[in-house]
Amino acid sequence: MTTLSVNVNKIAVLRNSRGDSDPDPVEAARAALAAGCQGITVHPRPDQRHIRVDDVARIATVLGGAEYNIEGNPFAPPRGTYPGLIELARLVQPAQVTLVPDGDTQITSDHGFDLARDAARLAPLVRSFKECGCRVSLFMDADAPDIERVADLGADRIEIYTGPYAHAFARGDAAHALDACARTAERAAACALGVNAGHDLNQNNLGALKRAIPFLAEVSIGHALIGEAIYAGLAATIGNYLEILATN
């Protein structure tokens, strides 16, 4: 079964735009879980422009048996009230941390790790997250040359960056990008790595990805799902995603 983890960052963006407490990402997480999703994802950044440090801890209290996936840049140092990703993991002990090489100047994550450059720095950090009891996933580009090195670092999964696939799908020319995602998943599986996927996935393009990677472990979806929920409602939208994952 492919699990659906709902990213509630966009709820925090809307809240922060008014500088108040509503809408609350904690309540959004409650509603998403009540609708049947299997996990909640947050991506706190050092500038706390959406999910804040206190949100990370508050969401952890409402998960019940659902999985918590915390994404972030493991190289970003503490800043102000942001304690760093490893300290957040120690605080709430999420089921999974997804390590992402993003910076303050990026609007959103837009590339995976280059392990030829980053492996030496990542190895001790992966060990630290594992010592916290977290499953570790690395955000990787489709057809990255160093997928096999992820296992050598001690990580458990990759998350395939699906932005290029989603953009190609929207253009009506997704075959090459979809093949790249499938090849990447197969290479990861051959190294006993689990395979997650995320970024720009929506109800239109998710089914084809699932068919191409039938052993897909997890998708984390936020931007499109929250946007679609504005029109159809959160529970109905999550139900649609769960049906796509179950029937493809």
**Domain ranges for the chain:** 3-247
**Token representation of residue 112:** 């995976």
Q: What is the CATH number of domain 3-247?
A: 3.20.20.70
Please tell me the predicted confidence (pLDDT) of residue 14. Answer: 94
Please tell me the predicted confidence (pLDDT) of residue 106. Answer: 60
Please tell me the predicted confidence (pLDDT) of residue 150. Answer: 97
Which residues lie below 8 Å from residue 142, measured CB to CB, with a gap of 6+? 160, 161, 162, 164, 165, 177, 180, 181, 183, 184
Choose among 227, 231, 225: nearest CA to 35.
225
> For the chain, how long is the longest CA-to-CA vector?
48
**Token representation of residue 122:** 């990542």
User: How many CB atoms sit inside 10 A of residue 133's CB?
Assistant: 11
Q: Is the peptide bond before 23 cis (omega within 30 degrees of 0)?
A: yes
| Single-letter code of the amino acid located at 150 | V
Q: What is the pTM assigned to this prediction?
A: 0.95
Please tell me the predicted confidence (pLDDT) of residue 107. Answer: 65
**Token representation of residue 114:** 């280059």
Asked if 199 is an active-site residue, the reply is yes
Please tell me the predicted confidence (pLDDT) of residue 111. Answer: 80
- Alpha-carbon distances, residue 46 vs 11, 19, 70, 73, 135 (angstroms): 18, 18, 13, 9, 22
**Catalytic entry in 67, 87, 167, 199:** 199
- Alpha-carbon distances, residue 83 vs 29, 48, 101, 230, 247 (angstroms): 23, 11, 17, 33, 41
**Catalytic entry in 71, 159, 218, 228:** 71
Phi-psi region of 42 (alpha: psi -120 to 50; beta: other; left: phi over 0): beta
pLDDT tens, position by position, for the chain (248 residues)? 999 999 999 999 999 999 889 999 999 999 999 999 999 999 999 998 899 999 999 999 999 999 999 999 999 999 999 999 999 999 999 999 999 998 666 666 668 999 999 999 999 999 999 999 999 999 999 999 999 999 999 999 999 999 999 999 999 999 999 999 999 999 999 999 999 999 999 999 999 999 999 999 999 999 999 999 999 999 999 999 999 999 99
Radius of gyration of the chain measured on its C-alpha atoms: 17
